[in-house]
Amino acid sequence: MHRKATTIVVLVGLIGLAASIASYAQQHVHAEHQKQANTSAAAQKDEDIFCSTMKTGQLCTHGTAVNLGLSGEKQEQWIAFARKYNRAVDAATLQLFKDAESVLTPAQLTQLKAWFAVGLNPQINEILYSKGLGPQKRLKGESR
């Protein structure tokens, strides 16, 4: 009985250790991505609307705040909202891929995934900028 209890304690400990390592790794990857995004955003004057380092449709949190003319507390609130949106976009995209596996051929699935690949956001930004919806244009009644 004592050996069984020891085994259970060791297993729980290993599970906890694995969860801690996974959490640390995820934070490390996110921190590295954020550092990379910050460096690239600084190079682009932190004005991109859709991040070139993220999946299609994910917003640059600081760039959108700059484009919307936000600062201070409103900027921090906006950044939190945009991060929540980005997580939802990522989760929805992954769910779409999972759901599509039962309907699409491997070639079709590859094509679908290409539509959401990192690298398309700069083209979306160019479309927005060409329509005057980029860094030079501010919304009426902007709040700074």
Q: What is the pLDDT of residues 46-58, one digit of tens each?
A: 789 998 888 899 9
Looking at residue 134, its pLDDT comes to 84
pLDDT tier at 3, thresholds 50, 70, 90: confident
Look at the alpha carbons of 104, 110, 115, 118 in this order and tell me if their dihedral is positive or negative.
Answer: positive
Q: What is the average per-residue pLDDT within 76-102?
A: 96
pLDDT tier at 88, thresholds 50, 70, 90: very high
Would you call 50 helix, strand, or coil by DSSP?
strand
Looking at per-residue pLDDT, the higher value among 118 and 112 belongs to 112
pLDDT tier at 138, thresholds 50, 70, 90: very low
Is the pLDDT at 119 greater than 70? The verdict is: yes
Q: What is the mean pLDDT of the chain?
A: 79
Report pTM.
Answer: 0.61
Q: What is the average per-residue pLDDT within 25-33?
A: 58
Which residue blocks in 44-102 are alpha helix, DSSP H? 61-67, 72-100
Is the pLDDT at 102 greater than 90? The verdict is: yes
Q: Contact 50/125 with Cβ under 8 angstroms?
A: yes
pLDDT tier at 61, thresholds 50, 70, 90: very high
How does DSSP classify residue 59? B
